[in-house]
Structure 1
């Protein structure tokens, strides 16, 4: 159907379906500022010509045809003209309506992710369920939560994940990528998505192990220990870094530690099963060296008014950011050379080189032995680890003071 053959306006459904493209793009007026656009390649869509709050004329797309029918386009145009008449910005109100519509239809990424979370929650313990949703709420929902999940492109996911990569939180980035890929897999197998935009993205991202486990050499360790003690910024962060050097725990375990978990009479920290979804199914017991107790007593006046050892600045009920220790090490000049997780590798290296029992070291690191042995060996070797970690704390003191020559001398008793 040629443009010249149009008999009436608003445009009839027959005219909309049969209008032929021309050598150049053209618009046909439907009425009241609503136009039907036809491109040379045959694509058709709706546009509204409206006056901005600043008094200037502008165009706004209302969707493609036939997805947006004539009746629906006229309804949308009427709503937006009403908004403009009331002095509202039609672009803002259009976005608000789209968001509300997506929410109502459970078509946002957040709605799909929460459905996925609900489908998996029975297979997780409470700690894992909380951690997974917390990661999505922190890293994904602010950017993509209100978006139509099928409209988010692979390149956009790559941008989000590379932003996390640049923050140095590679392990968290890897987990978030896996969670979101699973969300799309659920949408795909239930017929609500055709493709998974996160498929293959991991090939072009850094691996967590390469960066998160970075640590200085033993020759560089004394200088690092002295740098940490002189950390000039937040006192609680300085004390936290010192605790990481002494206890060989995961940075997340220390960040989320609560004062109620510490028994200062027994010099023992009990990390409960409920926290971090411990796969061994056991609470993890961490003996406290004399030095660790001294640091904790120094920290107490700063934060023991709150449940957490390291409460967040804006919300005291939540722990410090998951990058807090990494950023502190960067400020000290150790970017790419030392991470919070890397202190566990330093401890493992030193304790193994001094011939401490491998089972005691692995128990301190809360590692599960492979195979059948890992299933049946539930020992935590607390007495032996208490002695071992006191030796280790004394050894670090000597390194910091420059009273130790590095070498392979066997275990010190």
Structure 2
């Protein structure tokens, strides 16, 4: 049965099992797993079966696809390869875009949909590694050898991990372009994996036991640093919150009456608010910060009261503290993010349920529970945090001077 616009609209953007539907005159559509609907043409060239892509619906409409049939039949009748002839015909008014041009178009069209920090990262990656280097050859003509040569350059002038990150970025751009019908979806880059061009980011394994947390806490207290620096790192290790959630914490996010602090959606990795209890130790730290900086704006301000302390400042301070502990106690390397692994591991050993520790970490639930259970377990979180500080405090008391 011939296809109609109504049938095509129902097919488009539905992520389901792949399906192929025939139209007429060798024309058909294939819906992929990602919901894209690709026009295809079946024929025989040099006595061999050929299935060629004509573009994606709705960029290539039903009428556009049908109008191509006479051209395709003509090319076959005169012995031309319909794939090459269609490619030349498609160029028509404009040349095929380069990956650099597609990346710039992707930035212009989609960058605003991401959070400010993500926008900054993506702009940096594109500006440094993509836009300057992928502008000499159309993306559709890039071969596997071309891509490997490009990623070899990144690996040599950056790092193997950088090459893997840029692979993900470029594939995102080209998949976006393919979905819009601006690029065939058979580009060789789509078959590349991070292991082919560089190294995947290593998954962290480090977590600090209570005796190391005690050493860390004591060294922070002894350090000569701004109160905001010391308190920020303490709150990171005390709560297991993401560093950005602590750095961007404002007094307006604190409900002092109910002893709850809320991470607003714009500061949350999950784009949803995260509610945590304010424990006695956290309140003690907040009171000390209020005495120094006042109860307005950022709780841990940076060089200016109107700006949050920077990631660089927190990481640098943490590295300095680790340097002291490594020199004195041979403590293994740790970073602020290891606080999250520490609190989850240690509280699990103390029989705090996973659904509580996941809430403490600000992780989003999955599956049916995410749909129906909106409870924050504030009371259970508070009990977990109090137990955690109690164990750290006991370890501090047991330290040898």
* Range into which the TM-score falls when normalised by the shorter chain: 0.5 to 0.7
Give the Å deviation of 1:341: 1.7
Q: Distance in 2 between matches of 1:292 and 1:187?
A: 48
Q: Is the 8 A contact 2:103 2:131 kept in 1?
A: no
Residue in structure 2 matched with residue 140 of structure 1 by the alignment: 125
Secondary structure, aligned partner of 1:269:
strand
For structure 1, the 5+ residue unaligned runs are: 1-105, 166-172, 405-413
Check 1:278–1:376 CA distance in 2 against 1; reply closer, same or farther (3 A cut). same
8 Å Cα contact 1:267-1:288 kept in structure 2 = yes
Are the equivalent residues in 1 in contact too, given 2:161–2:201 (CA < 8 A)?
no
CA distance in 2, matches of 1:296, 1:144: 42
SS of the counterpart of 1:149?
A: coil
Corresponding residue for 2:359?
363
Q: After TM superposition, give the deviation of residue 195 of structure 1 in Å.
A: 6.3
Which residue is equivalent to 1:236? 228
Contact kept? 1:174, 1:208, Cα under 8 Å: no
Aligned residues, how many?
A: 282
Q: CA deviation at 1:346?
A: 1.4
Structure 1 position 236, deviation (Å): 1.7
- How far apart are 1:304 and its partner, in Å? 5.2
* Cα deviation digits, residues 159-186 of structure 1 (max 9, x gap): 6763987xxxxxxx97776334412444
Find the partner of 1:116 among 106, 109, 128.
106
Counterpart Cα distance in 2 of 1:375 and 1:118: 34
Q: Specify the alignment match of 2:287 in structure 1.
A: 297
- Give the TM-score normalised by the residue count of structure 1: 0.56
SS in 2 for 1:274: helix
Measured against aligned partners, the alpha-carbon deviations of 1:72-124 in whole angstroms (never above 9, x if no partner) come to xxxxxxxxxxxxxxxxxxxxxxxxxxxxxxxxxx9795x754532454469x5
CA change 1:197–1:344 in 2 (3 A) is same
Matches within 5 A, 1:318-357: 319-332=308-321, 333=323, 337-357=333-353
Alignment of 1:12-411 (within 5 A): 109=100, 112-113=102-103, 115-117=105-107, 119-120=109-110, 128-137=114-123, 139-140=124-125, 143-144=128-129, 147=132, 149-150=134-135, 153-158=150-155, 162=159, 178-186=168-176, 190-191=182-183, 196=189, 199-201=192-194, 204-210=198-204, 214-278=206-270, 282-300=272-290, 303=293, 307-313=297-303, 319-332=308-321, 333=323, 337-402=333-398
CA distance in 2, matches of 1:253, 1:238: 16
Deviation at 1:382, TM superposition (A): 0.9
Contact 2:233/2:314, CA 8 A, preserved across alignment: yes
CA RMSD, Structure 1 to Structure 2 (Å): 4.0
Report if the CA contact (8 A) 1:215-1:337 is conserved: no
Query: In 2, distance between residues paired with 1:297 and 1:239?
Result: 11
In 2, Cα distance between equivalents of 1:233 and 1:361: 31
Q: What is the Cα deviation at residue 271 of structure 1? A: 0.6
TM-score (norm 2): 0.57
**Contiguous gaps of at least 5 residues in structure 2:** 1-96, 137-148
Residues of 2 paired with 1:384 and 1:238: CA distance?
27
Larger radius of gyration, structure 1 or 2?
Answer: 1
